[in-house]
Amino acid sequence: MKRKVTLKQIARELDVSISTVSKALRNSKEISEDTREKVQAFAKLYNYRPNNIALSLKNRKTKTIGIIIPEIVHHFFSKVIRGIELVANKRGYNVIVGLSNESFSKEVINMEMLANGSIDGFILSISKETLLQQDYHHFTETISQGMPIVMFDRVVNEVLCDKVIVDDLKGSKKAVNTLIEKGCKTIAIITTKDYVSVGKLRTQGYLEALNENDIKALGSLILKVDDKLVSEDHLDVLEKDIETLFESNKDIDGIFAVNELYAITAMKVARKLGLNIPEDVQVIGFTDGVLSKHATPSLTTVSQHAQQMGEQSAELLINNLEIEEDEDYYQTVVIETEIIERESTK
């Protein structure tokens, strides 16, 4: 077992000083061609690689980005990570991942662990519990210590930093308008409780779209699911709720769901009730994931371009990190949504 070789060892072996070795390896003109070659040959032989940790300590830069997301077993978030990783690697950065599991305390702990020197900056999406408690001190403190944050998707006005979001309002208006164009008269929405910022915005888009088309919004057509708990039997409750929705509104001919799971479940329930898709009921979901693509019938969705969000976030963060003068100028990048038409609409 040959341990990793260090400058010191090379220096000892070749009977020169550490700094000579260091310079020789970096092709410094100061060193004679003779020793340079000798050192480089030796280094190559022993496969010398500078120790990242030592470099980080010296440069006060880790070249590592910390990602904090609520959940990784989730198509949207994993796609964002892929985007971040792509850009990060291209620009010489690594990516370290922390999961909050939608919990406030895990979010705080994870951030504290990483903020103590392990990373240069954060890219994160806020946990539901944090959104609910509206306690953002860990974000503001991190920023005030000089560590930049980029938030994506689940963001919050109270924290000043770069943000990458989808135009949820516009996106859901697009979706509802599409349903209306395709002939829907009675459109229901399956959404989340309002504390989830994106859920709230998407509900608002639904209402505005109806309003602009002179369709009266009915409270009975709005189903707000409480998904505080990401539990297994949560699904049963969801199905029951949707069933009730259909049964108390027999004339529903369009469904807009704020995520693909809700949409898929709605289709399932509809089918169970003898309704055909898209003939009797048309369905559109927000978030384009695997479920939508491979469902039968496949689901028409509002694509968020998750990977692009990740890429943008990484670009923003790294630009911020590598710019000398850190001006207090924060930008919010809005990623355009796109309707992907599949079989669940006519």
Partner DNA sequence: TTGTACGCGTTATCAA
Partner DNA sequence: TTGATAACGCGTACAA
Residues that bind DNA (CB under 7 A): 6-8, 15-20, 22-23, 25-26, 29-36, 48-51, 54-55, 57-58, 60
Name the residue nearer to DNA (CB basis): 58 or 216. 58
Min CB(114)–its own copies separation in Å: 7
Rounded Cα–Cα distance for residues 313 and 296 (Å): 33
26 binds, among its own copies, DNA, none (CB under 5 to 8 A by kind): DNA
User: Where does this chain touch its own copies (CB under 8 A) — which range of 153-161, 188-196, 236-244, 259-267?
Assistant: 259-267
114 binds, among its own copies, DNA, none (CB under 5 to 8 A by kind): its own copies
Would you count residue 51 as binding its own copies (CB under 8 A)?
yes
- Measuring CA to CA, how many Å separate 335 from each of 152, 169, 217, 338? 10, 12, 28, 10
157 binds, among DNA, its own copies, none (CB under 5 to 8 A by kind): none
Task: Return all residues near 274 (Cβ < 8 A) that are at least 6 apart.
Answer: none
Q: Dig out the tokens for 271 from the structure.
A: 């089918």
Please list the residues that pair with 340 across neighbouring strands: 301
23 binds, among its own copies, DNA, none (CB under 5 to 8 A by kind): DNA
By three-state DSSP, how is residue 109 classified?
helix
81 binds, among DNA, its own copies, none (CB under 5 to 8 A by kind): its own copies
Would you count residue 22 as binding its own copies (CB under 8 A)?
no
Q: Dig out the tokens for 291 from the structure.
A: 């479920």
Rounded Cα–Cα distance for residues 200 and 213 (Å): 20
Question: Among residue numbers 288 through 307, which ones bind its own copies (CB under 8 A)?
Answer: 290-291, 294-296
- Measuring CA to CA, how many Å separate 110 from each of 107, 158, 248, 296? 5, 21, 45, 39
Rounded Cα–Cα distance for residues 269 and 306 (Å): 28
Rounded Cα–Cα distance for residues 310 and 307 (Å): 5
By three-state DSSP, how is residue 303 classified?
strand
Would you count residue 117 as binding its own copies (CB under 8 A)?
yes
Min CB(333)–DNA separation in Å: 32
Name the residue nearer to its own copies (CB basis): 178 or 288. 288
With tokens 């990483």, the residue in question is 114
8 binds, among DNA, its own copies, none (CB under 5 to 8 A by kind): DNA
Would you count residue 72 as binding its own copies (CB under 8 A)?
yes
133 binds, among DNA, its own copies, none (CB under 5 to 8 A by kind): none
With tokens 């915005």, the residue in question is 201
User: What DSSP state is assigned to residue 339?
Assistant: E
Dihedral over alpha carbons 79, 81, 87, 91 (to 10 degrees): -160
Would you count residue 96 as binding its own copies (CB under 8 A)?
yes
Which residues of the shown chain bind its own copies in the complex (CB under 8 A)?
Answer: 1-4, 47, 49-54, 56-57, 62, 64, 72-75, 78-79, 81-82, 85, 89, 94-99, 110, 112-118, 141, 144-146, 261, 264-265, 267-268, 271, 290-291, 294-296
